[in-house]
């Protein structure tokens, strides 16, 4: 089944573009309940040996119901990426169809919700990491300091969020709409787009919506503009300021996440 590359990229594209217009409440962690039984069925034979049939951990594979990776997954986007490439002890699954991946994502998100519901009576202390190692990761391997500063944009962040919410903010910053979502300034998490018509000047702005047929943006003066699309005309270039976070989620280990959280809670 050489199905993967094209439909997969289409699904990713549909997802990326879809999220630009989706309301902020439709965020990662949500899932389609109807897809859960299908996801469980696909998961069992392909993944159950290592992760357990109910995804609570099996022969060598981690418990996915408590996986920060799954929690940070956005409707199968990040899941699809690691299944495509494999990771450490996990083989690649290049033959999974996009709908199988999205069904499995629904199943795994349902597992996470179920585990959360079970544990909500006694919330675990999530500050189990080492703040010093977290600081080292922030300035070093994590490259966080390239975009953030403890005395600048992240100053006082621990006073604004409880530890669990704080951890969620860096695992999936768009969920809250970014700083601009609160302060009224520019939303630093918003996707931007550059549209270059064949014989006009390029127009840039905040991406409002995009489909195969049209792209709508808002210019810095608030002006909304829509361009119809036909194939590659006009040229459309979308930039997602959160791409670094998605890349980060593919690399980061649970240990680094715990250390970072321990560090970030000190930024009162």
Identify the residue whose tokens are 């390239």. 146
Angle subtended at Cα 86 by Cα 261 and Cα 53, rounded to the nearest 5 degrees? 80
87 binds ligand HEC (CB under 6 A): yes
Q: How many CB atoms within 10 Å of residue 47? A: 21
Q: How many CB atoms within 10 Å of residue 213? A: 8
Find the binder of ligand HEC among 2, 33, 124, 146 (CB under 6 A): 146
CA 101 distance to own-chain centroid: 15
Q: Name the residue among 244, 178, 175, 236 with its Cα closest to residue 211.
A: 236
250-263 core/surface letters (b: 16 or more CB in 10 A; e: else) = eebeeebbbbbbbb
169 binds ligand HEC (CB under 6 A): yes
76 binds ligand HEC (CB under 6 A): no
157 binds ligand HEC (CB under 6 A): yes
Q: Is the separation of the CB atoms in 109 and 31 below 8 Å? A: yes
CB half-sphere exposure, 37, CA atoms < 13 A: 1
69 binds ligand HEC (CB under 6 A): yes
124 vs 201, beta carbon nearer ligand HEC: 124
Closest distance to ligand HEC from the beta carbon of 129 (Å): 12
248 binds ligand HEC (CB under 6 A): yes
112 vs 217, beta carbon nearer ligand HEC: 112
Contacts of residue 143, defined as CB under 8 A and 6 or more positions apart, other chains included, come to 244
Closest distance to ligand HEC from the beta carbon of 104 (Å): 5
How many residues at the interface with ligand HEC, by CB under 6 A? 45
28 binds ligand HEC (CB under 6 A): no
119 binds ligand HEC (CB under 6 A): no
Closest distance to ligand HEC from the beta carbon of 226 (Å): 26
Q: Name the residue among 243, 204, 195, 209 with its Cα closest to residue 77.
A: 243
189 vs 210, beta carbon nearer ligand HEC: 189
Residues in contact with ligand HEC by the rule CB under 6 A: 46-47, 49-51, 60-62, 64, 67-70, 79, 83, 87-91, 93, 104, 138, 142-144, 146-148, 153, 157, 169-170, 173, 176, 178-179, 188-189, 241-242, 244-245, 248, 260
């Amino acid at each position: 089944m050489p199905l993967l590359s094209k439909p997969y990229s289409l699904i990713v594209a549909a997802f990326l573009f879809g999220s630009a217009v989706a309301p902020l409440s439709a965020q990662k962690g949500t899932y389609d309940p109807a897809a859960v039984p299908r996801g469980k069925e696909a998961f069992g034979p392909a993944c159950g040996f290592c992760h357990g049939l109910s995804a609570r951990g099996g022969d060598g594979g981690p418990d996915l119901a408590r996986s920060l990776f799954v929690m940070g997954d956005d409707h199968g986007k990040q899941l699809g990426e690691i299944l495509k490439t494999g990771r450490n002890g996990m083989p690649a699954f290049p033959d999974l169809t996009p709908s199988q991946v999205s069904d499995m994502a629904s199943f795994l998100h349902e597992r996470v919700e179920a585990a959360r519901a079970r544990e909500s009576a006694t919330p675990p202390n999530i500050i189990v990491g080492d703040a010093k190692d977290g600081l080292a990761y922030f300035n070093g391997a994590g490259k966080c300091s390239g975009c953030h500063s403890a005395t600048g944009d992240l100053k006082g962040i621990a006073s604004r969020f409880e530890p669990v919410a704080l951890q969620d903010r860096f695992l999936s910053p768009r969920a809250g709409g970014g700083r601009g979502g609160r302060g009224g300034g520019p939303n630093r998490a918003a996707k931007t787009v550059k549209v270059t018509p064949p014989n006009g000047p390029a127009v840039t702005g905040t991406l409002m919506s995009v489909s195969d047929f049209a792209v709508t943006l808002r210019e810095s003066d608030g002006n909304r503009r829509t361009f119809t699309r036909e194939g590659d005309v006009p040229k459309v270039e979308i930039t997602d300021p959160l791409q670094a976070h998605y890349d980060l989620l593919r690399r980061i280990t649970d240990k680094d996440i715990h250390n970072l959280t321990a560090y970030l809670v000190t930024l009162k």
